[in-house]
Structure 1
Amino acid sequence: MCLIIIVISSMITKEQVQPFVEEWLANDIDPETRKEVETLFAEGKYDYLHSILSDRMTFGTAGLRGPIKAGFMCMNELTILQAAQGLIMEILKSVPESKKKGIVIGYDARNKSTRFAEITAACASSKGMKVYLFSKIVPTPMVPFGVTHFGAAAGVMVTASHNPSTDNGYKVYWHTGVQIISPVDKNIQKSIMENLKPWFKDIDSVVKEGKDAGLITDPEDEVWKSYFETIRAKLCRFPADNSKENCKVKIGYSAMHGVGYRHAMEALRAFGFDVESTVVPIKEQVMPDGSFPTSDKPNPEERSNMEYGTAKLDAMKSGAVVHFANDPDADRIAVAEKRADGTWRYFHGNEIGALIGQWMYDLACEKFPEEVGKGKWAMVNSTVSSKFLRTICSALDVRFAETLTGFKWIGTECQRLEDDEGMRALYGFEESIGYMCSDVVRDKDGISACAVIAEIANHLYRQGKTLDGWYEELSKKLGYHIIDNGYVTLTEMKLMGNVFHNLRFGEDGGRISSIAGSKIIGVRDQTSPFDCDTSRPDGKTILPTGSGQMITFTLDCGIVLTLRASGTEPKLKWYSEVIGAPGQETEELRATLKKVMDYVHETLIGPFTK
């Protein structure tokens, strides 16, 4: 018996990859990534080079996001230069007077964020465009706020939010202050492909020229002052009650190694809080650090990250009764509250979303008493978020609207309601701890939300109540909304098609009519070409449809179930919620939801994912 060992060499030859390497080296502006590619080529890493050089990232509605490495498929100085060139040319083409209006550019504390922002500023100023380039790291909401404050043509925020430290991203806001949607993304991508050759290679010189010419200026002080004045004027209800003498809450705070601490503290001060006596910072996490030393997944949605903070608060015997955590770019916020027995209650984003919704209605009644009951107010959340906000809106006679997942859709819908229908969009949220309070920012904003939630907590504690108690009070009054959300990772993407084929056609070729004995009374299919909504007279969904798989079932037992395919990874996600009548016991509702979801996993999903 002999053992035969076969060594498989690179599948890609030197000749196949060489043109891509030559293109990269002819254009790259960063000595580090040039050396990276040269070394890989010399070492014969042709397969890997082909994977990062033979194709390129596509600019979408989420902009760009990916690992910081050499290659057209990654985030680096060359791909950002090419993206910025395409973006600037599209702005000049599409937005009237864009040179004068300018562009707002911000960045977080991640590796390369500052450099990517400078590259964008250089591209804009080189075409004679006014540039508002922040001189310090900022939370993401400061960019869309800056766009509307200055009436700018667009905004760019360099951030990868809660992605791992190895990543970075590039998010674009249009002149409305809302994240871009299609077809703007497609137009930018086309423009990028038409402007691949670098306009220049010495970024520092171009930035200096822009500053010397007065084209590149620092908006830090002006935006900072205006933002905090605005949130105080529009969102603060009880500044005197929040003062050191009257405040009844102590707040733990984490920035998840991001940019939120400085701005969150100033937001609390704007609301009248004495930060020094009220806030207990988690010192290991409040200072910016793009390596995220305490978490490889710096997302406060992850329970472990919130538990890190609450454990620190307990160890310090801090006296904190609530704990807030912004994500690294501070556009989202998670909340926990200490119970009487010393344990912590970790709120779901849907729960805080409902509480802020009720609060924003109460605030509007005080700010705009002449509009109460006039049908001028609206609130918005994504279709995969809880229907509790819909229930609240129904009880208060406020217009409720749903959108696709993502704040680009929520912000766009709020803008549409105001521009086209003369409505006042009071609030928008999505279950992934994103909250938009009034029109301060047309995007999720974890800084203003931090101050709003702090004021809600203090107002309740001054009455001897708690956040948990108020949520229970609203649930008893309006009906409990119990949620079961999650996902399953598929081994092959083709299995996703199997699942959704079964959901649409079942075994007999017709749509399924019931789930676990509960009759399906409504179906919304947002996947082209199946787009439909049986609850509407014309049978068509009013939400945008596309190639992404997404179906929502409404059952006669009070359950709303949405299944959708992740757009970025092989995950099948589900969002289920049972909605009870006022006074209905939770045990009954939980049993109903469990019965349905057990059937979903065992019969509708399980057999088709293997």
Structure 2
Amino acid sequence: MNGMMAQETLHSLTQTWLEWDKDPVTVAEIKQLQGAGAEDELERRLRHRIEFGTAGLRGRMGAGFSCMNALTVIQASQGLAKHIQTRRSEVASKGVVIGHDARHNSRRFAELAANAFIALRIPVWFFAEPSPTPTVPFGINHFKAAGGVMITASHNPPQDNGYKVYSSNGAQINRPEDGEIAQSIRENLEPWPTAWQELQSSEHLHDDAYQQLLSPYQARVKEYALSTVSGLGTLIPFVYTPLHGVGGLVLPELCRSLGVESFVSVPLQTEPDPDFPTVQFPNPEEAGALDLATQSADQNGRTLIIANDPDADRFAAAEKVNGEWFLFTGNHVGVLLASHILDSLDPKDVNKETVLTTTVSSGMIEKMAKSRGVQFKETLTGFKWMGNVARDLEAVGRHVPFAYEEALGYMFPSVCYDKDGITAAAVFLAATAKWKAQGMTAYAKLQQLFTQFGHHETLNNYFRSPSPALTTELFKGIRSGSFLANMKLGPMRILRWRDLTEGYDSSSPDNKPDLPDDPTSQMLTLWLDGGVRFTIRGSGTEPKVKFYIECCGSSRDDAVKAVCDTFLAILDQWVKRFTPSMTHSHQLLTSSGHVLNLK
């Protein structure tokens, strides 16, 4: 429709919106803009549709085709329902699982989504209560459903919401299915007769699905966590925060079922609150997000903090070390969990095991896996890749016990095929109990792993890009420069250059990469002298150009110097040269806490 919309008059677009939208709040928004003659804002709201991209939709809530709202949710649901009916007819009768978090409008969006499937007589396993995101992919496999939808914007600001889509294998949709669904949405934009009605009881609506599912989910998480240890032992007392999200509705009860009572929940953040009033950004990666948790831990004499993001698909941890709080990065937690799970594998079966991570995550897990005789496989960024790769590997007789990505995402296919912050918390607690019995904390275990596999230092951050055009300009400049021809970046020698946008890899005989190319995104990975690897890519969901730098050094100081030198080369040779208007933080923090000032 975007092509057609580009040819329509603004008046026509406005009338179409007012004809289709039945939500009085968003109707009033458009009428107010129309009455005020705010043509530029109406253009921004109505000219282009919100893009159906990485596993679905995500964006700011508001009136207009470019925003998240009741009408765009109805349109997405009609397209998805029609896709399942026509392209997945053999499983359509199995129904779809629909869940939602505790954000503003999430319950309403979930109900409107359900109407679309019921209109086509596709059963709906409806979660009537707010739920963690991983319960939807778990539910797809539990109910043997044809797919699933989770209404969530994960850790985005309170003004946002999203629409996350899963396929019948319990993993996030991937290409070419995402493109097929997008086309089906464009073909089913006008609301169907029952689109706006209140969700009503019918033979196709199972509105007790969450009550049916929660106990099996918790039991499976508990069973899996306990399978990784010989006995749970004594846990280090800890503080837990769900950051105003749905994790607080599930994890404390799960802990108690494990016999764990030695925890304190952060009082002001325990109950779901869609306004996230105590944090600037409800993301445990962000500076300040765990301030209340550290205060609570200090007040209660606790030295360990665990956290989920608002939809509980991500997990974070912090430990008090020498009187200071140390926040584990996603890579730190990833290698700690990987070490624990690798220890738990039956030696007789290691030749069938494969662990996964993505191009932007630490290479340390590959060394750990190979030291145990376990296969390692790298994927493109995102759990839509890792979940589907895990399924593909299982189809040929392999087993995937664990996968992770550096942005605090951890997948345990024994439970579900997406990142799962609840299972990650349970497994991490089991691991800390084991390490405690061995006389170690999680931080001490991490240092032991660094001693064994080399000190891996990372510097992950982003440049703020005000427009996709500026991002394209940066990558065009990089590709047209002499860097690839000379195999040099500043003073550093480039050992390998991989461009997954253009499908090029300098290290392979035919110059074809070992991963799928993706012309719709921007991604370069370079390997440099001194054990440095870095990736720079355009974000698919945010106005950012992200970079991920890692060095494995014989010492922390050597590794820190290498990642800092690499960042400065990227800044001077690429960003300042090709896109001087692109902004960046004046202060960056490496994974071990080294501050890089750039003023």
**TM-score, shorter chain, exceeding 0.5:** yes
Alignment of 1:404-483 (within 5 A): 404-419=380-395, 421-483=396-458
Q: Is 1:377 aligned with 2:353?
A: yes
Shift of 1:566: 2.2
Which runs of 5 or more structure 1 residues have no equivalent in the other structure? 1-14
* 1:67 to 1:499, Cα distance in 2 relative to 1, 3 A: closer
2:547 to 558, 562, 574: 574
Cα distance change of structure 1 residues 294 and 220 upon mapping to structure 2, 3 Å threshold: same
RMSD over equivalenced CA pairs, Å: 2.1
Aligned-residue offset at 1:469: 0.4
Q: Per the alignment, in what secondary structure is the counterpart of residue 563 of structure 1? A: strand
Q: Deviations over 1:90-116 (max 9, x none)?
A: 011122333420000000111110011
Alpha carbons 2:239, 2:265 under 8 Å: kept: yes
Q: Would you say 1:344 and 2:317 are equivalent positions?
A: no
Matching residue within 46, 55, 75 for 1:53: 46
2:146 — aligned with what? 153
- Which consecutive unaligned segments of at least 5 residues does structure 2 have? 1-7, 581-599
Deviations 1:551-574 (Å, cap 9, x if unpaired)?
Answer: 111123111121222234443222
The alignment partner of 2:288 has SS state of: helix
Which residue of 2 is the match for residue 252 of structure 1?
Answer: 239
Which residue of the partner structure matches residue 129 of structure 2?
136
Using the size of structure 2 for normalisation, the TM-score is 0.91
After TM superposition, give the deviation of residue 323 of structure 1 in Å.
0.5
Question: Is 1:268 aligned to 2:241, yes or no?
Answer: no
Correspondence 1:261-340 to 2 at 5 A: 261-270=248-257, 272-275=258-261, 278-314=262-298, 317-339=299-321
Instruction: Compute the displacement of 1:212 (Å).
Output: 3.4
CA contact (8 A) 1:125 1:216 kept: no
Q: 1-side partners of 2:520 and 2:12: how far apart?
A: 34
Residue 7 of structure 1: aligned partner: none
Q: Is the 1:248–1:462 Cα contact (8 Å) retained in structure 2? A: no
Answer whether contact 1:68 1:168 (CA < 8 A) is retained.
yes
**Structure 2 residue matching 1:92: 3-state secondary structure:** helix
Q: Which amino acid aligns with 2:558?
A: E
Please list the CA deviations of residues 472-491 of structure 1 after superposition, one character each: whole Å capped at 9, or x if unmatched.
00110111111122222245
Maintained 8 Å contact 2:126/2:205:
no
| Residues 45, 65 of structure 2: 8 Å contact kept | yes
C-alpha contact 1:103 1:152 (8 A) present in aligned 2: yes
User: How many residues were matched structurally?
Assistant: 572
The 5 Å alignment of 1:1-400 reads 16-201=9-194, 203-205=196-198, 207-208=199-200, 211-213=201-203, 215-237=205-227, 241-242=231-232, 246-270=233-257, 272-275=258-261, 278-314=262-298, 317-339=299-321, 341-365=322-346, 369-372=347-350, 375-400=351-376
Pair 1:596–1:122, CA change in 2 (3 A) = closer
How far does residue 61 in structure 1 lie from its aligned partner after superposition?
A: 2.8
1:34 to 1:401, Cα distance in 2 relative to 1, 3 A: same
> What percentage of residue pairs aligned between the two structures are identical?
38
Q: Structure 1 501/61 Cα, relative in aligned 2: closer, same or farther at 3 Å?
A: closer
Task: Give the 3-state SS of the residue equivalent to 2:93 in structure 1.
Answer: helix
In the TM superposition, residue 609 of structure 1 has moved relative to its aligned partner by 2.1
User: Closer, same or farther in 2 for the Cα pair 1:26/1:218, shift >3 Å?
Assistant: same
Deviations 1:313-351 (A, max 9, x none): 21xx21222101100000001110112x32211101001
Alpha-carbon offset, residue 50 of structure 1? 2.3
CA shift at 1:157, angstroms?
Answer: 0.1
Q: Deviations over 1:27-81 (max 9, x none)?
A: 1121222222223222222322222122211212331111221111111111111
**Match in the other structure for 2:504:** 532
Describe the shift of the 1:603–1:40 C-alpha distance in structure 2 as closer, same or farther (beyond 3 A): closer
Rg comparison, structure with higher value: 1
Amino acid at match of 1:46: E
Letter in 2 for 1:338: K
| Structure-2 change in CA distance of 1:558 and 1:226 (3 Å) | same
Check 1:516–1:38 CA distance in 2 against 1; reply closer, same or farther (3 A cut).
closer
Residue in 1 that maps onto 2:590: none
SS at match of 1:472: helix
**Paired residue secondary structure (2:49):** coil
C-alpha distance after superposition, 1:379-435 (max 9, x if no partner): 11110011111111121121111111111111111111111x311011100000000
Displacement of 1:231 after TM fit?
2.0
SS at structure 2 position matched to 1:236: helix
Offset from partner CA, 1:512-557 (integer Å, 9 cap, x none):
31335443221111112xx112233332113222232211111231
TM-score by length of 1: 0.89
